[in-house]
Structure 1
Amino acid sequence: MYDDCRARLEDRVTFVNDIWVGTFQDYRTRHFVQLTSYHRTDAATLEMRSNFSVFMTPKDSGITQVLAAGQYLDSVRQQKNGGLKLLSRRAELDTSVLPRYLVYPI
């Protein structure tokens, strides 16, 4: 899955809502992020690493299972107003085989 820009994300939403509708088992997710660490690459840019896990619960069975686990590698820029802007995010999966399908982006 390579959703690297808004247009690709919009394509995925169109597929999920209009094309794939009724062809996959719909599920809810719970997403946990923890143990964030960072280092500065320059005065305004941070490289961040955090662990994540995503659990899925199919709407028909109600049985929760792990969908994926891994780490996020993020690049963040500090804005002059004190806010942060996410420049990039890459998800590296520990999970070698995903359950049947992955409809929604991680």
Structure 2
Amino acid sequence: MRRNDHAPAHAYLQGVYTGADGVRSGGSTAMVKDVYEVKGMTCGHCVAAVTAEVEGLAGVESVQVDLASGEVTVASERQLAYDDVAAAVDEAGYELTGRHER
């Protein structure tokens, strides 16, 4: 971990610091994880397109796509609006058919 001269020493002991860009990192932020069902994906290009569009949503930390099941697992800072995810999937050329909260 690179030390930021403006952060207090206790921040480094707790594993939390704010970088030069002002973004806080480290610590234990609770993540929301949802699994969405996407219809129509058949290949690696489909996976890449859906991943890119969903990763573009504000607050998304990671996206994992299981091509065989059509499941898209999204980890985010907060609960995402279903309509926002549906719009991103639609922009990629596919259809969002459901969501399961974890």
Asked whether the two chains share a fold, i.e. TM above 0.5, the reply is no
Which structure has more helix as a fraction of its residues?
A: 2
Which structure has more strand as a fraction of its residues?
A: 1
TM-score, length-scaled by structure 2: 0.25
Task: Name which structure has the greater RCO, CA cutoff 8 Å, separation 6+.
Answer: 2
